[in-house]
Amino acid sequence: MKHQYIIPIFVPHLGCPNDCIFCNQKSISGQKKNMTKEEAKKIIDNYLEHIKDDEAQIEIAFFGGSFTAIEETLQNELLELAYEYVKKGKVESIRISTRPDCINKNILKRLKKYKVKTIELGVQSSNNYILKRANRGHTFEDVKKASKLIRFYGFRLGHQMMVGLPESTRIDEINTAKALIKLKPKMVRIYPVLVVKNTKLEQEYKEGTYEPLPLPQAIETCKELVRMFADKKIDIIRVGLQSTDEIADPSQEKSEVVAGPYHPAFRQLVESAMWYDAIVGKIKRLNVKVKEVEVKVNPIDANNVIGHKKENVKKLKEYYDVDLVLKQDETIKQGKSKIEVTKTFKDFAYEEKEEEERKEVSKSKK
């Protein structure tokens, strides 16, 4: 399988007419300068120099602000630059992320001209009250309209949603996932809300009017969302913000995060929790007292089965007195497993008895 590489180019806050409650785009992108064509070229060349894989599938992605809301001349300059790399065969495709109210037919026609392949929309919630509360400046109707147009023009559609926005509940987030599934995105990103410095949310947090989600609750909700999207074969390209110098544990000096469910391995926590549920589900369905369970998975899933810092192994032992035995098997597809109970308490007692008998026999022979 070809390796996929993304060359991320952050275009911070430029031209964004909004001021979403949670956003300080300059902190998130780790970049205080505005993006220029020259700067973007440097970034692309630098990445290309380091990708040694001839078979690699490389994509240039304009992330960050609302790409289609920035000054059109700069958009075109950046797109022209990226398209040059596509034409030369150095890069396979181009991706942009933008707001749903910054999409219309003319914009899409222009993006087509530069062979943009993927458009990701910042949706955040399907609930108009929550969107308003977050000062998003668009409604879910805008999301529906933009999504339909994007698909109609033959782009790959991506959605980004948030968990833990002010006044949003688990049910609201599940409803958002349901509403997004109906719009048939090819991919989604799920971001638990973090309180970032110099945002309106930070102010609310300090005033006590916003309480961020605790990490376990964020994991629980994301687990359900991941399951829903995975069931519909929608690619989940990110769960949790990517850790950078600025997006780091609030205790770290350079961190721009003030509070919220930050974890450097957030996605692993979610996926491990899903494996834990699957194993416990299997144990509970059997009418025997399980002592040992063997889980066979693809090597790619091995770490998630065991859990971050062996959390699943420890929890199974502590809460169920069950030993987890992991077997790696390349013939099993990623995400699939064979879970088998390899010892019940009866076997265990029997083994212990046999061992005692063996000891007795060896004693009597001496």
- Looking at residue 33, what DSSP letter applies? S
| 176 binds ligand SF4 per the rule CB under 6 A | no
With contacts defined by CB under 6 A, name the span among 20-28, 72-80, 175-183, 205-213 that binds ligand SF4: 20-28
Beta strand 257-259 with 195-196 is antiparallel
Q: Could you give the C-alpha distances from 172 to 68, 161, 163, 176, in angstroms and in order? A: 28, 11, 9, 6
362: Cα within 13 Å, side-chain hemisphere: 5
Q: Rounded distance, CA 124 to CA 103, Å?
A: 16
Binder among 9, 23, 150, 157 for ligand SF4 (CB under 6 A): 23
CB-based contacts of 238, cutoff 8 Å, min separation 6:
189, 190, 191, 267
With contacts defined by CB under 6 A, name the span among 13-21, 31-39, 43-51, 307-315 that binds ligand SF4: 13-21
In the complex with ligand SF4, the residue whose CB is nearer, 70 or 305, is 70
In the complex with ligand SF4, the residue whose CB is nearer, 97 or 304, is 97
* Least distance (Å) between residue 111 CB and ligand SF4: 18
Residues touching ligand SF4: how many (CB under 6 A)?
Answer: 11
With contacts defined by CB under 6 A, name the span among 15-23, 192-200, 245-253, 277-285 that binds ligand SF4: 15-23
- Range 83-102, binding ligand SF4 (CB under 6 A): 99
Binder among 9, 44, 58, 65 for ligand SF4 (CB under 6 A): 65
Q: Rounded distance, CA 295 to CA 332, Å?
A: 11
Residue type, 134: A
* Least distance (Å) between residue 326 CB and ligand SF4: 40
Inter-axis angle of helices 105-113 and 140-152, nearest 10: 40
Binder among 7, 9, 11, 20 for ligand SF4 (CB under 6 A): 20
Q: Could you give the C-alpha distances from 336 to 105, 113, 290, in angstroms and in order? A: 41, 41, 22
With contacts defined by CB under 6 A, name the span among 19-27, 80-88, 279-287, 289-297 that binds ligand SF4: 19-27
Of the candidates 93, 102, 41, which has an alpha carbon nearest to the alpha carbon of residue 67?
Answer: 102
| 75 binds ligand SF4 per the rule CB under 6 A | no
Q: Rounded distance, CA 101 to CA 122, Å?
A: 10
* Least distance (Å) between residue 146 CB and ligand SF4: 13
| 66 binds ligand SF4 per the rule CB under 6 A | yes
- The three-state DSSP-derived secondary structure of 181-219 is HHCCCCEEEEEECCEECCCHHHHHHHHCCCCCCCHHHHH
Stretch 224-263: interaction string toward ligand SF4, x if CB under 6 A: ----------------------------------------
Site residues for ligand SF4 per CB under 6 A? 13, 16, 18-20, 23, 25, 65-66, 99, 122
